[in-house]
Chains A and B, each alone.
Chain A
């Protein structure tokens, strides 16, 4: 278990160093940072002085080392677009994205798992069949089209829910939350629903497939032969075995939620990190892009490591000897 943990952490560090390398290369080769710091008519000497001050005359691996050192303290310099510190920009935007993604993730689990169980337990019922068809459409529907449809129906035609922004937010320290006001909660409904829809269909299909697989196993048949109640067989014996693999996939997909928050934030003009990233991409604002990349990668790595550990805790076969026993 400890060996597993250490292996996992080394792997994570390797991934983060690679991502930092990509970010560093972006800095190094996209535009000359010196140009943005000196006057246009600067002499070669002046330019060299700046170069030296920035450490750009050093060997490339020294520069990379310095970049990693600064990045690990959260220092990515100034945005090329509006000259504010990138870390400030990101920390202002982080709560909006975090709240959106958390709500969407929660919704997709809360709705997806019961629907998956329902369709697995009664696969031939009408509701299960129509859910299965709907999920196929749900997977093919581009997320931004879903978002636009939601706005068209609930904001434009019915006028029930706001179509942009976070509503009224309350600041708690540096964190701004929309959870504490009615308008903030109302503003969350459409964006989080749009974001969770794809995830929801995925989880539903996954739970269904996994559960049907489990219900065919010998230990479920043996549980039936012992006269255990359907409730216990479905929700105690089958569900636990179903959810363990679902957790892994969900962890991986959480990264997808963060990425697709970019689209949701654009559709609903949600003031999160994704919207900031899109602006950075369209203006070629390297510091913001690089910082976003590193931050998001860090979140991915943390999620994946947590999921692996959780898996090991939940599956007793992994808990003791670290290897899955043969079936």
Chain B
């Protein structure tokens, strides 16, 4: 158990820059989830921490010790791979014991540790099997077990749940979180799934094109996204974006269709006419027969207690709303919960807070 510091890590493959300088401090026992679309550099970052890739510049510190020049073997870490990467020719027991044998632990202790981990993961009855005789979920548990028995300073997870079916994924997700809390091992978890990220992480790192777009707790990232990318990536269905211009001295915004939305939390800087992007989550749009915007419904997805409505405003802007109750009738009008309105710069997409 230890802290992890990533300082100014960059990585270039030939002329392609994959990471543009990542800084991250993970506290002892914390679980940080790195989330982003494929190709954003999240796996590369994890592999740099593991020592499987060398950074082009920057340092990785585990427990305050610079491990950048060290081999993976010398970093005292454990990693769970997307493909599980079990040794196909070894039994489950030998898979889990491999790292311990290399460290030269006494046989009795190896057995004790493996059995303890197997009990924890309820795979005790599988110890004699070969990986090919196991189901996906069982392999996943063995891979976890192989990491746990080592008592490493750091757990690394490289999209470990993406090869499981939906139901098992939810189950394993909860299990990983429970185990991590119980063992309180510092962990880095890489995923492309924002639900996984929200539910697993003490903190999230949302990565976009080799940069950390935002670092924060799940609720911070959800309620105050740093830019339009983070805003669209976190939350499902995704946030709506509406182009608008500031008006009333920055205290309100005028939409393309002419409607004016007044900010609940104060004026934005930049003055009259500044281009902004308004963000409103589908669940923050409410049916409003009087003042709302008319929404031409194109598709309604009833989910039982609520309905997701995809439609267009009169000026053609696409808008998604999550409304309570069943499928709405003709002449739907929706209005935003102005307290939940996000304002972003019209050009860079950065969040604009009240001046």
The answer to whether A and B interact is no
Task: Show the binding face of A for B, using Cβ within 8 Å.
Answer: none
